[in-house]
Amino acid sequence: MSDNSAPLLVITGPTGIGKTQLAMALSDQAPLALISADSVMVYQDLDIGSAKPSPIELAEYPHALVDLVPPEHPFDAGQFVLHAETAIAKAWNEGMIPCLVGGTIMYLKALLDGLDQLPEADPKIRAQIRAVADRDGWPAAHQWLASLDADMAAQIHPNHSTRIERALEVYLLTGQSIQSHWTGQPGCLSIDGKHVDLSIITLWPASREQLKTRLDQRFMTMLERGLLDEVRALKERPGLSDDCPSMRSVGYRQVWSYLDGEIDHAGMIAKAQAATRQLAKRQLTWLRSWRVLESQRIEVADQLPIDAAVDWFKETTGHVF
């Protein structure tokens, strides 16, 4: 490692696979500064449905970018990059190894591959798109996107409202696919004037069926821990609505609909579990080809692969645990 380079560890993988638990376990053996790369944990008071570490865990294993903003506050990839770069530089200055933990694709891509120069949001066009979705459902908005940009629509699930909305918005603003605005291959990564020596641990399910079972059970555990009451309390906040990005997150969206009487209890469970599985599938599809040269895929079966992660990180970085 040169004088003008510094290490950065990333622990990523699909939702529910154990990224946070592995990061905390590695922190017991190495001077890691944990930085969340999770688009739901960034919000205050979204605790159960985000699978956020407990207050006791956060006291022992502090995470930067957890509980950063109230749920009424919009938070995007650009803001994430600014906060993450500050946290990374702080870790280096304190002699720590910054460790990004999370599976939010937009966040990781924005920080490590560069932000795409996309048009700014247009409230009028967004209102037009949401009017269609409110009237006919997001699958109808997806069909609208398919009529304009079939290739992009094929990459988005018909119920992934955030991606459908943004892809439609960019096309209606520019007449071009959002893909035409994306950056190409990632180049040399530099943060705070230092070249980043990047190491990535990608946790991968040994069995897709095992992961699906784990995700289904995890949502049931969230309900047992009080997710309904958590969302009820959030609904009481005067500035919060189901249009806020925080409330469009997987799990929260379905519980909000249930509390509004739009779906029954069984339907809420089925929709939330299905949406979680779809999220995991999208994450795995993207991770399969993302920065494979810097990444070590480590399979997760019944137990967290802590020893395998330690051995690989030690061999790759030369760090002595």
- How do residues 271-298 score in pLDDT, each as one tens digit? 999 999 999 999 999 999 888 888 899 9
9: in domain: yes
C-alpha–C-alpha distance, residues 296 and 186, integer Å: 18
* In-domain check, residue 191: no
Residues 104 and 206 in one domain: yes
CB–CB of 157/282 below 8 Å?
yes
Question: Comparing C-alpha atoms, which of 117, 102, 96, 135 is closest to residue 19?
Answer: 102
Mark whether 290 and 234 lie in a shared domain. yes
13 and 102 fall within a common domain: yes
Query: Which of 95-104, 174-183, 197-206, 312-321 is the least confident region?
Result: 312-321
User: According to the model, what pLDDT value does residue 55 have?
Assistant: 96
The more confidently predicted of residues 186 and 235 is 235
Token couple for 130? 């949401």
> How much is the pLDDT for 118?
67
**CB of 84 within 8 A of CB of 37?**
yes
At residue 214, does pLDDT exceed 60?
A: yes
Q: Are 82 and 135 members of one domain?
A: no
Number of domains forming the structure of the chain: 2
CA gap 210, 215 in Å, rounded: 9
Asked if pLDDT for residue 183 goes beyond 60, the answer is no
Q: Are residues 156 and 91 in the same domain?
A: no
Same domain, 152 and 235: no
Query: Which structural domain range is residue 143 located in?
Result: 123-181
Are 69 and 105 members of one domain?
yes
Both 136 and 58 in a single domain? no
* 280 domain-assigned: yes
Task: Flag whether 186 is in a domain.
Answer: no
Is 25 found in the same domain as 78?
yes
